[in-house]
Structure 1
Amino acid sequence: MNAPDLERLRPRLPSPLEPVEDERFARHGLTLLLKRDDLIHPDLPGNKWRKLALNLRAAEGRPVLTFGGAYSNHLRATAAAGRLLGFPTIGVVRGDELAGRPLNPSLARCAADGMRLLFVDRAAYRAKHEPAVLAGLLERAPGAPGDVYVVPEGGSNALAVEGCAELGRELAGGADVAAVACGTGGTLAGLAAGFPGPVLGVPVLRGGFLGGEVRALQEAAFGGPRGDWRLDERFHCGGYARTTPELDAFADAFGARHGLAIERLYVAKLLHGLVTLAEEGAFAPGTRIAAVVTGSPEPQADSSR
């Protein structure tokens, strides 16, 4: 089998780095920059492109099986890549109660792009990495199980981390600090490896486990730790896929001020965290802070990683 020609998709790389005038940063002598990874590709935006690119080359046109929730950005991006590049895709969806119901807009888009959806109960989904559970899922996938290429939830594996290291290299010289919202930790692990300065990760779910995930991903990708990174766990708004009226108001105001629609579950939490840290004096005057815009808002709330 041959690896797909990803250049056929014409990704916009490097993605733009745009300064924004915001007095909440300027009054502390800070410059806010937006790394517009959301503009890389309309169907595979942001960290989804960076995480999938090397995995798709490794798949070499074989069917790709991956995992996500009912509104998964990652599932949508994988399905779109399958349609655009001509390979089969299988999405394992958390929640067997969804089987037989009308598909929500997110899953309907996956299906329209040719993705076969497999609904599993939440216990099986949590155990998806166990060999027996994964073998059962592969048996349900079309084709021979040995021909299916498996990508983990959120796309985060060693190849994804290597792909995201390019994000850090693109920012080198253009910013002093880089910051990104984190779900599964793959983007942070790669960004920190490629960026020569400090990197801040803002988890969008609670639990305090993400540091271990980032370290494990860097071990898998590079054989050990890379970069100067830290996490600030204060801005998840109560857990994954949760927002608050205050966060919604912040995102609306930021978008109106800067002419940019703000995705709620990742980007809004990141920007709110950076405004708070600027007010707290966390950055020295003169610091250029690059906030990675990893995606665009969806018509409905996204509840996946």
Structure 2
Amino acid sequence: MSILFDQKRCVIATKHQKETIMAPILEANLGVQCVVPTTIDTDQLGTFSGEKPRNGTILEVLRAKCQLGLDASSAEIAIASEGSFGPHPRIPFMAANQEYLMLQYKAINLEVVVQTLSTDTNFAAESLKSFSDLEAFCERIHFPSHALILRPANDIYTDMYKGIQDEKSLWANYKTIHDKYGKVYVETDMRAHLNPKRQAVIGQLTQQLVEAVLSSCPHCAHPGFQKTGVIRGLPCAWCGFPTESPLEAVWQCMACDYQENKPFHVNKTTEDPMYCSHCNP
């Protein structure tokens, strides 16, 4: 805990109940008092289902969310998150959750951003041929604990039903769409309050954010000395050839730009040959 944050009001810019995950971690570790204004509508900045495209880069959206929170509250500190889902950038046929968290504390010119790429996600979508296809999809993605979205097609935003969490609504909405369009498209609802797998990732990332905020720069002592990138090239255990696995982490201060490289792994100096493009092309 730091005196810079103790008892400061911290707004969590969300309309999808992320405070239930983040607030306990933030309050216990930073000493802040978390608030969530009911007037915040982060959907205006983009929706997972695509009817409102994201406007801007991830960082621009995070800053816009933080500003929404600050404008709607008397808080000194703002926190916002943003997630994206799709194919893993390096592992074929694997879905991934890219999650970002930003903390802004403008009074001390502090902006901290952390991110993670997680494969622990049930993100999926499918064009259905029958209701039995939908039942199989539900079993794979752990319905009803994880909600669904139904619509006629990936590029159709009318007659779209979100947040489906019970079998009665599932069948009724499927029938409504199928009777009108003759086809149905299903996808996981990745909004945080409806997807426990994403909630777990956000919780882990919130802890990572706390650690970054409480890490002081060895050069100027400003808070927020954090990992900003990686240098790849961990050598293969068999041939010594550099792999795409991280070798070093790049740490940087957002205040004075001091930078240093640290080993990415604690007790790992080589990579499994299965990840080596020379031994396993």
The two structures have a TM-score, normalised by structure 2, of: 0.28
More strand per residue: 1 or 2?
A: 2
Q: Judging by fraction of residues, say which structure has more helix.
A: 1
Provide the TM-score with structure 1 as the length reference.
0.26
Rg bigger for which structure?
2
